[in-house]
Amino acid sequence: MDKIACLQMVSGPDVQANLQQAESLIEDAVAAGAKLIILPENFACMSIKDADKLKIMEAPGDGPIQAFLAKMANEHGIWLVGGSISLRTENPQRSRAAVLVFNSQGDLVARYDKMHLFDVNLPESDESYHESSTIEPGDEVVVVDTPFGRLGLCVCYDIRFPELFRLQLDKGMEILAVPSAFTAITGKAHWEALLTARAIENQCFVAAANQGGTHANGRSTYGHSMIIDPWGVILDRLPSASGIVIADIDRARLESTRKHFPAIKHRRLGGADAPR
């Protein structure tokens, strides 16, 4: 039985310092037996201003952050989900928020670009987020084969849009990776409920790696990184600060849940057997 781990970080604007923190946590997860490791959204840079991310965006396939991910995967013989980082587009004023998956040889095997952008105002804290001002949305649903099961990819705000995960389910998704930087306010209200719902309705494992603390830009993220099984049971969680959560990927548990409680097969809307 293989183990999956999520890293929880409190990233700042210094890329090198963040990569050092990520490397230390990856080493901790490997020492604990993890074979699949997920990093949080913006793990390499939580910038002071949104536009600052444009200064560190990389060309696809080239750059120190991508090189770091490939090196970590290869050196430790792990599958690594690095999400998200800023990748260049044709528009120099907007990047893609990309999740990159590297196999145990350090090869890039999948990329998902964040589809739903966080353009919201939070009156409780007077916070405003307008990701679309610097980020270009993706439009591809991504599920990738891994030795641990079919892995679906998303980022943070995507978790509020269940139709995305039904499309992933139709592509065979068994594990859902959720790199995130969920805010403290929205996290307290919705984080656990959303993640648990996605696990239960899709009868899959959910592995959510969140940022978890107060950042240099003054914003606070919720933490509570967690791994949830296909019945909605939280297998491990970390309330705050940097660290790891880790759990077994029990394929027998997944297969038994889907066999004995065949809700996926009972779908009437969507899926191969939907009424026409």
3-state secondary structure of 216: coil
Termini Cα distance of the chain:
41
Nearest to 86 by CA among 118, 64, 106, 119: 64
37's CB contacts (< 8 A; 6+ apart) are 4, 5, 6, 7, 26, 29, 30, 78, 79, 80, 81
Distances (CA, A) of 262 to 149, 209, 223, 266: 19, 28, 32, 7
Query: In this structure, how many other beta carbons lie within 10 angstroms of the beta carbon of residue 27?
Result: 13
> In whole angstroms, what is the distance from residue 138 CA to residue 113 CA?
5
Answer for the pair 210, 40: CB distance below 8 angstroms, yes or no: yes
* Tokens encoding 87: 């990748």
3-state secondary structure of 24: helix
3-state secondary structure of 74: helix
Catalytic residues: 41, 114, 156
Residue 236 amino acid letter: D
Strands (E), 133-224: 143-146, 149-153, 175-180, 205-210
